[in-house]
Chains A and B, each alone.
Chain A
Amino acid sequence: MIFTQPVFFIFLAITFTLYWLLRGRREAQLAVLLVASAIFYGWWDWRFLALIGIVIALSWLSALQAAKRTPSRRAWLVAGIAGNLAILGIFKYAGFFSTSFAELVSALGLRANVPVLNILLPVGVSFYVFQAISYIVDTARGDLEAEPRLRRVALYIAFFPQLVAGPIVRAASFFPQMDHNKRLSGALLAAGARAFLLGFAYKAGIADNLAPLVDPVFGDALKPGDAHIAAWSNEAVIGATLAFAAQIYFDFAGYSLMAIGVARWFGFFIPKNFDHPYASPDIADFWHRWHISLSSWLRDYLYIPLGGNRAGKFNTYRNLMLTMLLGGLWHGAAWTFVVWGALHGLALAVHRAFYGRNGHRIGYLPGLILTQFFVLLAWVPFRAESFGDTLDVWRAFAGLRAGGEGVLPWTVWLVPVLILVDTLVGLPAVRRLGRMTALREPLVWWGALGALTAILLALYPLEARPFVYFQF
């Protein structure tokens, strides 16, 4: 069940009605959300419920024990983190590492019978495992009190709006909201509708309509071995890369906004996950605006524990590289993701070496062009199926490739216009337009929302595509 499928709207309507009918009975409301979350997740495959159940039980128990001032608290902390990472390792990376080891052995001319594992990847496992780890660590650090009620920990980890693709929510911000007995108001509905509709515009209006420009060149992301890069002209390959850069942003940011909107309708506040990243004039700024919940997670639970920038230049660069390498691997069990992470780690290290911690110094526009060109090139290994394809695409950018005959529609060159529009509406001056009294008149506002809904429905691709980040 994904946010753009008709079945989700039926599910949402039922859950919403039950939830608000129980207003004033907070535990019952939370029970509705927990059951709805189980149905939402089990919709993919009911067996996934057992796995998330283990993550919840493990996190609840280890956090409870790690928060106690006893000698065994450290052991519980390690067990909680290791257990969660083991689940992630088995379900996400076992196949990858076994295949890589088999290929390495074979490349060395040795013969070994390495079992190749094909384990079904549970949707969203990377997200909820990270969320669970942050809860355990926060309680062990004493930043948060351990929650004795299993059902509340379960709802924190499995809350359906952000269960399968984030944003990765911190327990410290989520748990207090479970105690707030909110009233269903027009403001709540409007806030949810605004976020959901903007997300819908990103996902169904733009990202899904960019897929037909990307998939023919790079291959269907869900069908490995489907790429036909050689058949396409250099212009088409560059156009498809540009379209992918827009697709992944609008797709993921769209999902995040829809998650924020849905959560809002239930009275929960989830912080934003994207902040116009393609307007970043340097790579450090980019990572403050792109997938904010993951980058802040990596900062707080990996980069800083590794030592951050506190132990000299070399160690700072090493920590940046390690954090981004693991961040790349988090995205997918393939070496191409590791390369993507390495490129960003390297860029962050170079930025750090030249400019220190404080911003860009080559001017906004040159910085923007340089940064975004790098980000565009770095998307290639992220999307390509192999290193061979990656190099082929990079050669197209450099004009060092003969190229095939396939061409894309000329409208692919309008993709940057959509990114520009998105960036412009994020500018403070444009945001101020939205605060104009006339636009905030309820009849005008709701009428405009109706008009936008009509436009988005016309743009809605009927064959709902899964969100790109679901695979992670």
Chain B
Amino acid sequence: MSLLLVVLAGLALAGAGVLRLPHRAGRMGPALAFLAGLIVTALMIRSATGALGIGRATDFDAIVNHAVEVAKEDDAPLIVFTGASFSRNAISEDRLTALLRERGYPYRVINLSLEAASLTERQRHLDDFMRRSPRAPDIVFLEVAQVTDERPAFIFENSKFSMRAIDQFDLSGTLWSTRGMMEGACAGTAACLRDLALTGIHAGLNLLNVGLVSQGKTLSAIPPMEAYDGNDTPREEIDPLWRADELATAADDGPVDGMEWARTFRAGQRIRLEQEGVRTVGYYFPPVIDADSRAYAEGLCKGELSAFTCIAPDDPSLLGPLDGNEWLDHEHLLDSGARIYEAWLADRLAASGVLEGGT
């Protein structure tokens, strides 16, 4: 229970307790007065919490706190991977760092990934990390996944009305998600309408600071947490025949351009990161069993992102060893699978030449 909370609670108690009933009036005036009181006070609370450094505490903040600690450990050049759950289950910072160093590259790997993280949410936390890190990352790898490009409000599949979901729909998140949905980035008309409605509600909850004082924290009060989520036990039974069939299916759909909103976002993101001192921006996608999802990443690497370092997982030398009990579920790796991917990724990073500038 923070002091701000006690003060606001006392104020609310006194205010609500003192109010008697109003004199009679029309409809429009009271409605506008109510809205004005609501919005002005919400903005004042936002300003006060901002000044006190209080924000919505989510796991992403804990991950950023950990990343900042790691960055402060030494002066090694930083290589940051940021994505959603695909990456959270696929990249152990310490192991990939060791693999790169075995290959002669002194990089320190940082994983900034969290389940259902939207493109804007990742960028906001990457900005936060860069603001607090002693140095800018040398390289930033951005996860590209069909689900986040084609479903910017994907978080509603995982959680609604949670601190995390509300946090995702700040002004930037709402504008980009809405733009995506207006272009059809949702699963059918009914889902589009639902996602739009939920986006509007969550944006309103964000604007009105719902839960911000009761559950908000200063960044320093959030315990650090490593992003990597290694698991040893599958949570889903996978048909081995289907798995073998999907993993053996090569992505041959040709070049792909992401939806316009995602392309525009990525272009702006690259410019911004380079302006902030990032030497190289690259793209990647961890392996999944579903061939279509892999094909999307492969297609982006050949199409929209062909001018950049882009590492898609459609490689038999990676997928062959993953045709076993290496899967947490059909789209996330177990720890054993992550080890296979990290070794392959280290080779691909080395082969791409992107690591050369930082040595």
**B268 interface hit (Cβ, 8 Å):** no
Q: Which of B31-39, B185-193, B272-280 contacts A (4 or more CB under 8 A)?
A: B31-39
| B residues less than 8 Å from A449 (CB atoms) | 19, 34, 37
**CB under 8 Å from chain A, chain B span 1-56:** 1-3, 5-6, 8-25, 27, 29-31, 33-42, 45, 49
Interchain CB contact (< 8 A) of A209 among B9, B40, B161: B9
Contact assessment for A447 and B33 in the assembled complex, using a CB-CB cutoff below 8 Å? yes
Residues of chain A within 8 A (CB-CB) of B16 are: 194, 197-198, 201, 452
- A186, A201, A212: the one contacting B9 at CB < 8 Å is A201
Q: How far is the CA of A462 from the CA of B165 in the complex (A)?
A: 11
Give Cα A194 to B162, complex, Å. Answer: 27
- Closest chain A residue, CB of each to CB of B45: A458
Interface of A is mostly: helix
Judge if A417 is at the interface, Cβ distance under 8 Å.
yes
Q: Is the CB of B6 within 8 A of A446?
A: no
In the bound complex, CA of A435 to CA of B42 (Å): 26
Q: Is A205 within 8 A of B6, CB to CB?
A: no
Chain B residues contacting A418 (CB-CB under 8 Å) are 6, 9-10, 13
- What 0/1 readout, one digit per residue, does chain A (251-273) give for beta carbons within 8 Å of chain B? 00000000000000000000000
> Number of residues in A with C-beta < 8 Å to the partner?
58
Hey, which chain A residues are within 8 Å of B20, CB to CB?
431, 434-435, 439-440
Interface stretch (choices B71-79, B207-215, B289-297, B323-331) = B207-215
Given contacts A187-B24, A426-B17, A458-B212, contact A443 B9 (CB under 8 A): no
Q: Which residues of B contact A210 (CB under 8 A)?
A: 1
**B163 in contact (CB, < 8 A):** yes
Please determine whether B9 and A452 come into contact, CB atoms closer than 8 angstroms. Answer: no
With A201-B16, A417-B6 already in contact, the answer to whether A450 and B38 are too (CB < 8 A) is yes
Chain A residue contacts of B27, Cβ below 8 A: 186
Proximity string of chain B (290-331) to chain A, C-beta cutoff 8 Å, 1 when within and 0 when not: 000000000000000000000000000000000000000000
Contact A445 B22, CB 8 Å, known A209-B1, A458-B212: yes
For the complex, give the distance between the alpha carbons of A431 and B29 in Å: 25
| Interface membership of A461, Cβ < 8 A | yes
Q: Which of B8, B16, B211 has its CB near the most chain A CB atoms (within 10 A)? A: B16
A459 touches B30 (CB 8 A): no
Given contacts A442-B29, A446-B30, A449-B34, contact A425 B18 (CB under 8 A): yes
Q: Return A213 CB to nearest CB of chain B, in Å.
A: 6
Residues of B contacting A443 in the complex (Cβ-Cβ under 8 angstroms): 25, 29-30, 33
Identify which of A206, A409, A421, A435 contacts B14 (C-beta below 8 A): A421
Q: Write the A182-203 contact mask toward B (1 if CB under 8 angstroms, else 0).
A: 0000110011001001100110
Residues in B neighbouring A425, C-beta threshold 8 A:
13-14, 17-18
**Which A residue's beta carbon lies closest to that of B23?**
A440
Contact B11 A455 (CB under 8 A): yes
Give A418 Cβ to nearest chain B Cβ, in Å: 6
Measured between beta carbons, the chain B residues less than 8 angstroms from A431 are 18, 20
Residues of B within 8 A of A434 (CB): 18-20
Chain B residues in 8 Å Cβ range of A57: none
Enumerate chain B residues within 8 angstroms of A212, measured Cβ to Cβ.
1
| A446 to B: closest C-beta gap in Å | 4
Q: Does A441 belong to the interface (CB within 8 Å)?
A: yes
Check B2–A441 contact: CB distance below 8 A: no
CA distance A312 to B220 in the complex (A): 66
Tell me which residues across on chain A come within 8 A of B37, comparing CB atoms. Answer: 446-454
Choose from A202, A445, A459, A461 the contact partner of B19 (Cβ within 8 Å).
Answer: A445
- What residues of B have a CB within 8 angstroms of the CB of A457 in the complex? 42, 205, 208-211
A451: which of B1, B40, B162 is its contact (CB, 8 Å)? Answer: B40
B42 to chain A, nearest CB (A): 4
Contacts of B10 in A (CB 8 A): 417-418, 421
A435 / chain B contacts, CB cutoff of 8 Å: 20
CA distance A445 to B14 in the complex (A): 14
Question: Which residues in chain B, 152-182, are within 8 Å of chain A measured between CB atoms?
Answer: 161-163, 166
For A445, list chain B residues within 8 Å (CB).
Answer: 19, 21-23, 30, 33
How far in angstroms is the closest Cβ of chain B from A447?
4
Contacts of B36 in A (CB 8 A): 447, 450
Q: How far is the CA of A437 from the CA of B215 in the complex (A)?
A: 37
- A414, A444, A458: the one within 8 Å of B214 (CB): A458
What's the Cα separation between A353 and B208 when bound, in Å?
A: 55
Instruction: Indicate if A460 sits at the interface (CB-CB under 8 A).
Output: yes
Partner of A459, one of B21, B35, B161, B213: B213
Tell me whether A442 and B22 are in contact (CB under 8 A).
yes
Given A209-B5, A212-B1, A426-B17, residue A456 in contact with residue B162 (CB < 8 A) = no
> Do residues A446 and B22 form an inter-chain contact, with CB atoms below 8 A?
yes
Check if A6 sits within 8 Å of B208, measured CB to CB: no
- Kindly provide the distance from the CB of A92 to the nearest chain B CB, expressed in whole angstroms: 32
| Chain A nearest Cβ from B221, distance in angstroms | 11
| B211 nearest in chain A by CB position | A462
Which residue of the partner chain A has the closest CB to B165? A462
A219 to chain B, nearest CB (A): 18
26 residue pairs bridging A and B, Cβ less than 8 Å apart: A190-B21, A202-B13, A212-B1, A409-B1, A421-B14, A426-B17, A439-B20, A440-B20, A440-B23, A442-B24, A444-B33, A445-B30, A450-B35, A451-B40, A452-B12, A453-B38, A457-B210, A458-B42, A458-B45, A458-B211, A458-B212, A459-B8, A459-B9, A459-B214, A461-B214, A462-B214
List residues of chain B with CB under 8 Å of any chain A CB: 1-3, 5-6, 8-25, 27, 29-31, 33-42, 45, 49, 161-163, 166, 205, 208-215
Q: A residues within 8 Å of B by Cβ? A: 6, 186-187, 190-191, 194, 197-198, 201-202, 205-206, 208-210, 212-213, 409, 411-412, 414, 417-418, 421-422, 424-426, 430-431, 433-435, 437, 439-462
**Supplied contacts A201-B16, A425-B13, A453-B37, 8 more A-B pairs, CB within 8 Å:** A194-B16, A201-B12, A213-B1, A442-B22, A443-B25, A450-B38, A455-B41, A458-B49
